[in-house]
C-alpha cells in the first residue's frame, strides 16, 4: 500500500523529494548532481563526513600552513610556520617558529612539537587550544644549533649534543602555557609521571616526523 503523503511515478517508484540546500545541483552538474555536494555536510553528499582535504596557505603576515583542512580551517594535522602575527591560537612565539602536530578547528590542539630557532628551544608535548597543557619536555638546543651553524652535519651535531640536551631538559606538567610542576610525579601521580612524559614526548616526535 502506497503512502498517501508521498508522490510516485507512473511505474510505482517513489519521487525523491529534493532537500532545499541541494537544489540546483542538477543544473550545475547535470551528469552527476551529487558531486556538486562534495566537501559539504549535505546528507546526499558523496563520502559524507570526509570533508578533510590537504592544502597549503601563505598568509599576509608571512605565516604559512601546510596540512589537512576542513572548510578552509587547519584541522587534524599540519605544519604551521609563524610570521609576524602567527596562528593556531599560540600566543608565545617569534617569527620563524614552527609548530608541527595536531589541530582542532584552527587551534594547535593535541600532540605537537613547537620549535623556536631564535630561542633555541624545542617543546614536545600536549597542547590545548594553542597553549601547552599536560605532559611535555622542553629541550635547550643552543649547543646543537651552534654546531649546525658552524657547518657540522645535523646528524653529527645531534649525536654530540643529545645527552646534554636530555640532561638539561625541562620535563613536567604544563597548564596555560606555564610549567606548573617540574619533573615527574611518580610518587603522588597527581601530575604527569615519568612514563607519561616519555610516552607523550615520543608520540609527539613521531607525529611531527610523519
Grid cell 604559512 is found at 64
Distance CA 74, CA 11 (A): 49
More reliable by pLDDT, 39 or 207: 207
Distance CA 93, CA 172 (A): 21
Q: Pull the grid cell for residue 131.
A: 597553549
- Answer yes or no: are the C-beta atoms of 74 and 67 closer than 8 Å: yes
Q: How confident is the model at residue 49 (pLDDT cuts 50, 70, 90)?
A: low
Distance CA 105, CA 129 (A): 9
Query: What's the pLDDT tens digit per position in 52-80?
Result: 789 999 999 999 999 999 888 898 899 99
What's the whole-number mean pLDDT along residues 160-188? 94
Q: What share of the chain is helix, strand, coil (3-state, %, to 5)?
A: 25, 35, 40
Question: How far does Cα 3 stand from its chain's mean position?
Answer: 49
pLDDT for res 17: 42
Q: How confident is the model at residue 86 (pLDDT cuts 50, 70, 90)?
A: confident
Distance CA 118, CA 152 (A): 19
Distance CA 54, CA 207 (A): 16
More reliable by pLDDT, 95 or 70: 95
Listed by start position, the domains of the chain span: 1-50, 51-209
Amino acid at each position: 500500500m502506497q503512502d498517501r503523503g508521498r508522490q510516485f511515478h507512473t511505474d510505482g517508484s517513489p519521487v525523491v523529494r529534493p532537500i532545499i540546500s541541494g537544489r540546483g545541483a542538477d543544473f550545475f552538474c547535470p551528469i552527476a548532481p551529487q558531486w556538486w555536494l562534495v566537501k559539504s555536510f549535505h546528507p546526499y553528499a558523496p563520502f559524507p563526513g570526509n570533508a578533510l582535504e590537504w592544502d597549503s596557505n601563505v598568509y599576509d603576515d608571512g605565516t604559512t600552513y601546510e596540512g589537512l583542512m576542513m572548510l578552509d580551517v587547519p584541522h587534524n594535522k599540519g605544519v604551521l610556520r609563524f610570521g609576524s602575527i602567527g596562528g593556531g591560537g599560540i600566543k608565545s612565539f617569534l617569527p620563524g617558529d614552527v609548530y608541527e602536530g595536531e589541530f582542532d578547528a584552527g587551534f594547535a590542539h593535541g600532540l605537537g612539537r613547537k620549535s623556536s630557532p631564535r630561542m633555541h628551544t624545542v617543546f614536545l608535548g600536549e597542547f590545548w587550544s594553542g597553549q601547552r597543557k599536560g605532559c611535555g619536555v622542553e629541550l635547550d638546543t643552543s649547543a646543537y644549533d651552534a654546531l649546525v651553524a658552524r657547518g657540522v652535519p645535523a646528524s653529527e651535531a645531534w649525536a654530540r649534543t643529545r645527552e646534554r640536551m636530555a640532561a638539561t631538559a625541562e620535563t613536567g606538567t604544563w597548564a596555560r602555557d606555564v610549567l606548573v610542576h617540574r619533573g615527574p610525579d611518580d610518587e603522588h601521580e597527581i601530575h604527569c609521571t615519568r612514563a607519561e612524559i616519555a610516552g607523550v614526548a615520543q608520540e609527539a616526535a613521531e607525529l611531527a616526523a610523519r
